[in-house]
Amino acid sequence: MSIKTFKPALLSLAIASSISMNAFADDVAKEASVVEQFTIFGSDSSVNNVPGSAHQLSKDDLEKFDYTDIMRSLTSIPGVYVLEEDGYGLRANIGMRGTGQNRSEKVTIMEDGVLAAPAPYAAPSAYYFPTAGRMQQVEVLKGTSSAMYGPRTTGGVVNMLSRQIPDEALAGQIKVQAGQDGFAKVHGVIGGQGENISSVFEVFRYQADGFKDINHSNQDTGFVKNDVLGKVRFNTDDDATFDQELELKVKYSDEDSDDTYMGLTQADFESDPYSRYSASQKDNMTTEHLQLQLSHAIELSERFNLGTTVYHNDFSRNWYKTSKIGQMVVDDEGNSSIVYQSLSKGTQLASDYDHGEIDELYTQVKANNRDYLSQGIQTVLDADLNNHQLKLGIRYHQDEMDRYQWVDKYYLDANYNMTLTGEGTPGTDSNRIDSASALALFVHDEWTIGKFVINAGLRYEDMTIEREDWGKTDPDRLTEAKTKKNDLDVILPSLALTYHLTDDLVLLGGVQKGFAPPSPGNEEATNEESINYELGARFGKNAFNAEALVFLSDYDNMHGNCTASQNCDDENIGEQYNAGEVKIKGIELKAGYEFDFNDLSMPIDLTYTHTQTEFLNTFESDFWGDVEAGDEFPYVPENQFQLTVGLAGDKWRSNVLVRYTGEMRSEAGVGASASNIDSHTVVDFVASYDIATNQQVRFSVDNLLDETYMATRMHGSIMVGKPQTMSIGYQYNF
């Protein structure tokens, strides 16, 4: 096993999974034997031994529609659910196999094999998400194929592979794009290989004015986001005793978005779905993210390779947004006072004000100011023992979230002007630090016996999760904080089996223990634990491939994490609520075929997911509501379907994507409900033409049929999906 074979483990930052090791960009992955060994379907369309559900979106897959929204890309993967929010994917909500999607907190998000959530143990809600438009590949693992990852092992893993250093001495790319609602994108890359030193530099910027209009205002509702990435790699000479590589990665990003949690009432959604209330005119989010990673890989011998990564992530954000809405009330004795309501209950007041039914309004705008830290070191030993492929790994990780928030008060007059009437003091709303430290170890053995491949794994995690809370009266943190702590350890086994019935057909099955740690703020919250099963088959021959899996997640206890995005009351944000026993089962289907008409080709891809969810016990909860045994889980559609049809000639290509999302609940229950979210179908279209061997123009339309649909009621009001949006682009390669 050469270091070139092990290089993907370096570039994926030494995470031990055979599917993860296919973390090459198409430019880099020219060692065909390496790519074929680790892809789900090799170049000869045969199927491999990857246990469980594992899919990869290649560079070509991602460039087909060239989405900047990761959620639009992931809908081609069965068993993955997404929940739109802002329409541009700035705040990703991703779930897998019924886990729930809120802030992607129930799945493991990684970039280059390193945990990417701002504080994945202490505060998993991903208010930062890696910019999808600069990624070269995306790997999605569910079930037993994701069992080696943590800290959350029930749903699955999304691992995004960033820009790789090109093979050429000098190569690069420039992309520009412009479209409706002020959408614009600039993407530039340059890099190359040297004898011992190689590097790449990338700049990505995209922005929009937004597709919503604030009532009685000309203010934009869009965003600007910037990403800058640099990598430098040092490698030893060809005749060195030990083949080694050392890679430094530095990434900086920032964002300024006029985003809000304030949706619409049902009546306003039906009459003017792309409007926003005047009370949200101050809502704005600013973020900064710094990522440092140093990776080292060494070939110890032909059979042993060692990869190590040290990583550090700093993320800060302040989401300044309306949290309460009030009006002046006069009691029977003539005394006046302002009565505030939560955002969900106060939305009707905001509507009445904009429609002129009341003359004035009062708001509380909260500065949701937080700083995050995530850092650690991880290493993996990869051993080739003939019919045993053994992986041993260890990771030490630390993270924290520092909440230092305040509330400002505003008055809105009869002319819809918003005036500051009370400036809050920083640290007088939420003033606490949630932190975690964790030691994780795993061993994974892939044992080949004839046509059988047995994958056995064992993961151990020892973690301490803690909260220090200074309350609302000690902004300088001079007194001793109120402390809560959870110390726990867990052993997570997994076992999977694949069997080659023929050269083209493989059967697979597996079982694993799923886990998610408790919140630092609730000492009564227990671990989320489940036993997860899957059974299915893969087939691949010539131009046809297919996969069918059934899955069952049997929870002893499911968590619900209370966040502002789920319309939680201020005093409950950050808390965790147990749901007890839950059962989720479903079917995942995926098939693809490419028709060849001599001068034309027509690739077709089909994805379908059917999911059934059920609470198995009756309880009352501030988070879940009043739940009866047999109720269905909110925000998991029973059916979702996607069909992509392409047509390509010598110099041109076109693709149509049809995505159907079935009806889903916004709260636990069964049967029809006025609060359900209706099913909807969205069609995307893209066409491109090569004006030269290294130049291309592109025309794309998101939501081609201009479907108006409800995306979510997550915030206690209705958020609308993105309308029809056209854009044109140009690409130059050198």
pLDDT of 562: 62
Q: Which two tokens stand for residue 529?
A: 């634990």
Q: Which two tokens stand for residue 522?
A: 């609730």
3-state SS record for 150-180: CCCCCCEEEEEECCCCCCCCCEEEEEEEEEH
pLDDT of 101: 82
Question: What sign for the dihedral angle of Cα 436, 395, 102, 702?
Answer: positive
Closest CA relative to residue 428, chosen from 570, 328, 549: 570
pLDDT of 145: 80
Query: CA 569, CA 565: separation in Å to the nearest integer?
Result: 10
pLDDT of 103: 85
Amino acid at 662: G
Closest CA relative to residue 413, chosen from 310, 279, 523, 521: 279
Query: CA 198, CA 167: separation in Å to the nearest integer?
Result: 9
Average pLDDT, consecutive stretches of 10 residues, N- to C-terminus, the chain (734 residues): 41 32 33 29 47 90 95 96 94 90 88 94 88 94 84 90 95 98 98 96 98 96 98 94 96 97 96 98 98 97 95 97 95 91 92 96 97 97 94 97 97 96 96 97 94 94 96 96 93 95 94 89 76 95 95 89 58 68 96 95 98 93 85 95 97 98 94 93 98 98 98 91 98 97
Q: Are 497 and 510 in contact (CB under 8 A)?
A: yes
Say how many domains are in the chain: 1
Q: Which two tokens stand for residue 121?
A: 């143990």
Q: Are 50 and 39 in contact (CB under 8 A)?
A: no
Neighbours of 449 (CB within 10 A): 8
CATH number of the domain where residue 525 is located:
2.40.170.20
Q: Are 238 and 168 in contact (CB under 8 A)?
A: no
Whether this prediction's pTM lies above 0.75 is answered by yes
pLDDT of 524: 65
Dihedral, 260, 520, 512, 143 alpha carbons, nearest 10: 10
pLDDT of 323: 94
Q: Which domain holds residue 233?
A: 3-733
Q: What angle do CA 221, 225, 173 make, to 5 degrees?
A: 130
